[in-house]
Structures are given as structure tokens and as C-alpha cells.
């Protein structure tokens, strides 16, 4: 692997064409890792500032692509309040829904979600998430199972 820093982004030159390395996690004393490998520039380990700049720029690129394409991959979270009574049939309360990109450089200004269960083999919980997207328009996405991933798209017929 041959990585270089190009305008703040860490790029893998071993591929044709060169590709940007994904989000990077920096583990103090252990090095910086993308999901695939240890990331170094030559024989030099990355600094925290270089990792932060790369992740920030990559987040901006993702948001810009979502605006242009009208679809994107976002992350969904919420608060859960356990039942207050002794009756185990009482449900949990879900609130404070949030949608953002992975690095948190963009967060939805408004978000609402409702849940359902999918029929069939999987029988998983599904969240239907409505939010104001990065372009200021209404978006809709689905979060399925035990992940935080929301696959979303811009709703049609908006002015």
C-alpha cells in the first residue's frame, strides 16, 4: 500500500485510479487504522490533526454527494427511557431522534421516527425516519435491525 496526503485527504496510490482511504480511527500509541489496514504515509504514522482533517474533508465530500445524488447513508440514534412502572408490559419511550453523517460534521435540524416490525423470516425492528436533509429539504430513510445505518433519499415533489 502506498498512501500520500493530497490536500488533506489520505489517498491510496496503489489502486488505479487512486482512491481516498475511508474514515480513519486513531488509536493512541497503536497507529491510525482505516477499516481495512494500518494507515501510514511512507513509514510515518499519522498525527491526530491529520486524521481529523481527513475525516472532516471526507464527511464534507459525502454530504456534497448526498445533496447532488438525492440519496445517502446516514447514522441514526435516539434516547431510550425504560418503563417507569413495575408492569413489564409497559413499553419503553423513545425520544430525541438524531440523524447525522459518520463524523458528526452534519446533523439534521429536524428528525422524527416511527417503528414497525418486518414480517417474515427476519422479524426485525424497522425505524422509518423522516428528517431535514443536508440540502434543507425533506428526506426519508429506513433503519433496519441492530445497526445505526439509515439508507435515505430525498422525497420527491418539493419546491
- Note down pLDDT in tens along the chain; length 159 residues: 578 888 888 888 888 888 888 899 988 888 898 888 888 888 888 889 999 999 999 999 999 999 999 999 999 988 877 766 666 556 667 778 899 998 888 999 999 998 887 776 666 788 899 999 999 999 999 998 778 999 999 999 887
Secondary structure element (H or E) that encloses residue 72, with its range: strand 71-81
pLDDT at 151: 95
**pLDDT per position as a tens digit, 97-131:** 899 998 888 999 999 998 887 776 666 788 899 99
β-partners of residue 35 are none
pLDDT at 35: 81
Distance of CA 1 to the CA centre of its chain: 26
Buried b (16+ CB within 10 A) or exposed e, 134-149: beeeebebbbeeeeee
β-partners of residue 81 are 93
pLDDT at 91: 65
Burial of 66 from C-beta contacts in 10 A (0-12 / 13-18 / 19+): buried
β-partners of residue 115 are 127
- Tell me the three state secondary structure of residue 26: strand
Q: What secondary structure does DSSP assign to 79-101, as a single string?
A: EEE--SSS-TTSPPEEEEEEEE-
Amino acid at each position: 500500500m502506498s498512501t500520500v496526503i493530497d490536500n488533506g485527504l489520505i489517498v491510496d496510490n496503489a489502486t488505479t485510479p487512486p482512491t481516498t482511504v475511508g474514515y480513519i480511527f486513531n488509536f493512541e500509541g497503536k497507529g491510525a487504522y482505516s477499516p481495512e489496514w494500518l494507515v501510514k504515509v511512507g513509514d510515518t504514522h499519522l498525527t491526530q490533526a491529520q486524521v481529523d482533517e481527513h475525516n472532516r474533508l471526507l464527511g464534507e465530500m459525502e454530504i456534497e454527494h448526498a445533496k447532488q445524488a438525492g440519496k445517502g447513508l446516514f447514522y441514526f440514534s435516539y434516547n431510550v427511557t425504560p418503563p417507569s412502572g413495575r408492569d413489564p408490559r409497559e413499553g419503553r419511550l423513545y425520544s430525541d431522534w438524531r440523524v447525522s453523517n459518520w463524523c458528526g460534521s452534519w446533523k439534521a435540524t429536524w428528525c422524527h421516527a416511527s417503528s414497525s416490525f418486518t414480517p417474515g423470516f427476519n422479524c426485525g425492528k424497522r425505524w422509518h425516519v423522516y428528517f431535514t436533509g443536508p440540502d434543507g429539504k425533506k428526506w426519508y430513510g429506513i433503519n433496519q435491525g441492530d445497526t445505526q445505518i439509515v439508507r435515505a433519499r430525498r422525497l420527491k415533489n418539493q419546491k
